[in-house]
């Protein structure tokens, strides 16, 4: 599996799956979540409302993942994951790692070969970008080492130079 980091806009990346750093309601928000909902169009929020109505009435739990179509995005699917919120005392790195591994599980189940991640929880959820990068790279590498699951291209698509440097450093070290 190839892991790379790049500066860019996740909503424009041509991959099978983009991962959304969602909130548990799945109904949109700020940052990456808001940008994905805006670019995907109104059918995304309708699909998320249907998930809430049918299988996730209490919302998506932290560390878990669920898929919807990508609608107006270049990506075929969006895998939504809820990162831990450090401001709410959710400081366990295993919860953060689960966001990456569960997203990859869902992507593999969809038959995806390429996945693009943001820096889950590094924004308003208060996690340090260096820590997110380390946890993410370690989790993705461990997931990939567990056998061939079809995903061959994992990209970390970062919105700032600072996050890009953090992920480049983690990729070089971990």
Q: Which parts of the chain sit beneath pLDDT 50?
A: none
Q: Which of 49, 44, 163, 143 is nearest to 103 (CA)?
A: 143
Spatial strand order in the sheet of 17-22: 2-7, 153-158, 114-117, 17-22, 77-82, 65-69
pLDDT of residue 174: 59
* pLDDT tens, residue by residue, 106-155: 999 999 999 999 999 998 899 999 999 999 999 999 999 988 889 999 99
Angle at 119 between CA 85 and CA 163, to 5 degrees: 120
Q: Which of 9, 14, 16, 33 is catalytic?
A: 33
Whether 130 is a known active-site residue: answer no
Q: State whether CATH 3.30.980.10 applies to domain 2-173.
A: no
Q: Is the pTM of this model over 0.85?
A: yes
């Amino acid at each position: 599996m190839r892991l790379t980091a790049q500066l860019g806009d996740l909503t424009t990346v041509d991959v099978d799956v983009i991962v959304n750093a969602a909130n548990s309601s799945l109904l949109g928000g700020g940052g990456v979540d808001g940008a994905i909902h805006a670019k995907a169009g109104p059918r995304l929020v309708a699909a998320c409302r249907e998930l809430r109505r049918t299988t996730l009435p209490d919302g998506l739990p932290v560390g878990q993942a669920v898929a919807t179509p990508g609608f107006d995005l270049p990506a075929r699917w969006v895998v939504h994951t809820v990162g831990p919120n450090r401001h709410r005392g959710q400081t366990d790195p295993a919860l953060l790692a689960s966001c990456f591994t569960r997203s990859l599980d869902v992507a593999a189940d969809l038959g995806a070969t390429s996945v693009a991640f943001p820096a889950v929880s590094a924004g308003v959820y208060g996690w340090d970008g260096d820590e997110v990068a380390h946890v993410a790279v370690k989790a993705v590498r461990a997931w990939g080492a567990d056998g061939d699951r079809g995903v061959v291209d994992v990209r970390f698509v970062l919105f700032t130079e600072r996050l890009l440097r953090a992920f480049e450093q983690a990729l070089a070290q971990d």
